[in-house]
Structure 1
Amino acid sequence: MKRRIFAADSSWTLVVVPSLSKLCLLTIVDNFEAVAKMPLFEELQPTEKHFIEERLSPDLPLHLTASRVSDGVYWKRCCKQRWKLCDVSHYSHSWKRMFFERHLENIIELFTPGVTEPQEVLNVVPFCQRYVKRLDISQLLLPIKEPQGEEEVFTLILEPEDELNQSKMGHFDFSILLDRLTNLEELSLVYRVKQCGMNFEWKMFEMTDQDCELLAKALKSCETLKVLRLRFSQVEDKKCRVLVKSLLDHPSLRELDFSYNLIGDRGARGIGKLLSRSHLEILDLSDNKISSHGAQAIAHALSKNSTLLSLNLHFNHLTDVGGEAIGRALMSNETLRHLNLGGTGVTWHTAVSLSKVLQQNNTLKTIVLSCNKLGDVGGKALEEGVSENISLTKCDLGLTEVDEQSLSFISERVCRNQDSELRKGK
């Protein structure tokens, strides 16, 4: 006689009973700290690992996940949990790289000298050093200033200014970190404090002498670095020369951006020396305090350089002395492709010099001369220069007082070169 058994739950069915393999995988998820160290975990199939990674807690300690959990869904979940904006295309479509780069950036940006222990940063390095290729540090904090009594304030007033500067503690010390990041290729720094509110002080927006010395030491030891950006940090001639000295003969540096600082002619001479002893391809010195003397030093180096592809001197006061020097340098330079002299105080004299360059140079692709008083004479000179030129695909003459006829002629020739470039590409 057959017996029938009725389930207490009418919706129960054999279909929802988990398989033994699934139960085992769920057990691994619940006990990952113990199981991850076993050889068994490495023997799992890719689909089984994916199943586990979809369910692991994003809050697991890095010493468990960094080396054992591969790039993919787990690290995507970790990123999405911590940050609202997660464009993985900026990280070569690697979620793991995104997590470790942004995690290390956050630690450095919140590092408070004298309060945060440097070991807190160094503890993360063994887990992230394989994945960190770029660091974009948008703020660096100063030490917390303790309240001072009347006697202490009086003592500080009596102390010589040099002694006070020497005793100032700087920002985060990059010399303890960069040589450990063996895959670092790109470093962007801004010495400033975001959202400082009522605590605003000018020193929050500049690197100290101590910062400069330590960063120079760190840069020299980071032989994989290809791109260095140090902007909005009140870098003047002295600091510029200290940094440049550490970059001489650097084996891999290709791009240097010191824009929006206070670099003058002495700093520019140091950078001229760097052009002679490096493989720089991109140099951005826009919005500094370089005058004609500094421009002449850069031009001298440019005349002998064979690697630089882009030079940006936008918003420096070069005048025609500097502009013409650069024009003469380009008569012998066959490498530079992009030149920006916008807002540099040059006139038609520089336009005439560059016109001669364009008549024989078929390397330059971009020239920016906007916000300069070139006038009709400058426009006519550039007309003559571009008439036979076959390489120039952009010529920015906005706000230069060049007449419409010259602008139209130059634009027509540039468009012709653009079309020719496109046909070559096909």
Structure 2
Amino acid sequence: MRIIIAEDPNWSLDLVPSLSSLCQRCIADTIEDHQHLFEKLTPQLKDSIQPRLSLSLPLHVTANLVPDGVFWKRCCQQRWNICDISHYGHSWKRMFFERHLENLIELFVPEETEFKVILDVLPLCKNYIKRLNITQLLLPSRKFVKGRDDDQHEVVMLTNEEEDDMAASHFDFGIVLTELIHLEEFHLAYKIKQCGMNFEWSMFQITDRDCRALTTAFKACKTLKVLRIRQSQIDDKKCRPLLRCLMDHPSLIELDLSHNIIRDAGARSVAELLSKGQLEKLNICNNEIDIHGAKALAQALSNNSTLQYLNMRLNQVKDEGGEAIAEALQNNTTLRYLHLGGNDMTSITAVVLSKVLQKNETLKTLNLSCNNLGEIGGKALAEAMVHNSTLTECDIRQTDIDETNSASINKAIWDNQCADWDKEVQQRRKSTIYL
């Protein structure tokens, strides 16, 4: 027997890679030049090669070539510390492209960054993006001129023309929303993060020019289901054109305009959309909607047959508006969630609402917190809950309702919850027996 003694004492035949492994390594190293070889592989072989692929490969090579899997997981974990795949339909590839495009847009500086940066990536990512969450929009870099303040000290300031240009120049979403053929959710906030000592109110508001650009973009985006524009200083003037273009939108079911400055005229526009559209969720909390706006929304709600969720927290609807909304629930048969917290309502609204709760069979969650309902309002609600069997959540914190009536309301809510649980258990048992 002849024996070969290796120079490395730790060497053995077990360390010799298989031919299959060598081939996979070769394909991984030369994938940029031999994409056709990778395309011909079986799904199992593609999965086994993904851990070997270099993360520095250009996107135009990997975007449509490498399927969802370990490679895209590695790309995400390399770029971002927090990677919760559950928010992206459990798809690493979707997470990468959505966050990649979001980062490009949020760091885009108008008049400086070349729009080609966005145009180059859109064809690569358009098939994988279903949601965009834009948390900041930058303005053009400031151009200063020297001047003097009231004390004749030399300072640096903006010219009026440049200030107007800055206020009118945000990223234009027209081309982006047109190209994203699978976009279903669009979250947007006109603000700047970490502006520091350079803070200006113009950094935190949507402009008339932005509204015109968005109306054109929304008309082209037929797949949009959820639209959220929050913390952007949307007023009545800007609200109307934005909502007008959504009147006949084929797929929009959720609208969120919370934390803006919408007043009664804007609320009437929202009510018009509610009457003509197919909204299922509407969030207009923390605006400046008064009595007349609330009445317009109540009239639309009375004739609506699609809305299931309405959040009007932190407005100023007062008792007249609260009564109108309560009376609308007598005709509405679809609303399941209603939030009227912090609206300067008193026992007058609570009494009207209690009459509705005795007959309403669809409302599941009611929030009346931070209103001055008092003992009279608490008593009316407690008496109404004796006859209500559907309400399973009722928030009456900080409403000055006394402990006795509060305990009665909470007990009725608990009974309704138990009844719901019993029904659910029975349904599960029936389905189990059927299977």
Normalising by structure 1, we get a TM-score of 0.95
Among 123, 139, 157, the alignment partner of 1:126 is 123
| Contact persistence 1:143–1:169 (CA under 8 A) | no
Q: Tell me how far 1:110 sits from its aligned partner.
A: 0.3
**1:65 aligned residue:** 62
Distance 1:413 1:388 in 2: 9
**Residue 194 of structure 1: CA displacement?**
0.3
In structure 1, stretches of 5+ residues that fail to align are none
Q: Please give the secondary structure, in 2, of the residue aligned with 1:69.
A: coil
Q: Deviations over 1:216-275 (max 9, x none)?
A: 211121111111111111111111111111110111111111010000000000000000
Q: Secondary structure at the match of 2:394?
A: strand
Pairing 1:48–2:73 present: no
The equivalent residue for 2:111 is 114
2:192 aligned counterpart, secondary structure: coil
The answer on whether the counterparts of 2:334 and 2:362 sit within 8 Å (CA) in structure 1 is: yes
User: Is the partner of 1:395 in helix, strand or coil?
Assistant: strand
| Mapped pair 1:89 → 2:86 | yes
Task: Tell me how far apart the structure 2 counterparts of residues 170 and 386 of structure 1 sit (CA, whole Å).
Answer: 54
1:269-320: per-residue Cα shift (whole Å, max 9, x none)? 0000000111001101100000000000000100100000011110101011
SS at match of 1:112: coil
CA RMSD of aligned residues (A): 1.8
Equivalenced residues, count:
418
Q: 1:203 to 1:146 in 2, by over 3 A?
A: same
Cα distance change, pair 30–322 in 1 and its aligned pair in 2 (3 A): same
Is 1:105 equivalent to 2:102 in the alignment? yes
Matched-pair contact (CA < 8 Å) for 1:170–1:207: no
1:203–1:242 distance in 2 versus 1, CA, 3 Å: same
TM-score (ref. length: structure 2):
0.93
**What is the letter of the counterpart of residue 309 of structure 2?**
S
The aligned amino acid for 1:220 is: K
Per-residue deviation at 1:164?
A: 6.9
Contact kept, 8 Å, 2:145 with 2:159, in 1: the verdict is no
Q: 1:365 aligned to 2:364?
A: yes
| Structure 2 CA distance for partners of 1:54 and 1:196, relative to 1, 3 Å | same
The sequence identity of aligned pairs, in percent, is 54
**CA distance, structure 2, for counterparts of residue 8 and residue 370 of structure 1:** 80
Counterpart residue number, 1:286: 285
Q: Distance in 2 between matches of 1:210 and 1:96?
A: 34
> How do 1:142-153 and structure 2 match up within 5 A?
142-150=139-147
Answer whether contact 2:280 2:306 (CA < 8 A) is retained.
Answer: yes
Structure 1 residue 295 corresponds to structure 2 residue 277: no
Distance 1:381 1:76 in 2: 56
Give, in angstroms, the shift of residue 385 of structure 1.
Answer: 1.5
CA distance in structure 1 between the partners assigned to 2:101 and 2:69 by the alignment:
19
Aligned 8 A contact 2:143 2:158 in 1: no
Runs of 4+ in 1 over 6 A off after TM superposition: none
- Tell me how far 1:119 sits from its aligned partner: 1.9
Match of 1:188, SS state, is: strand
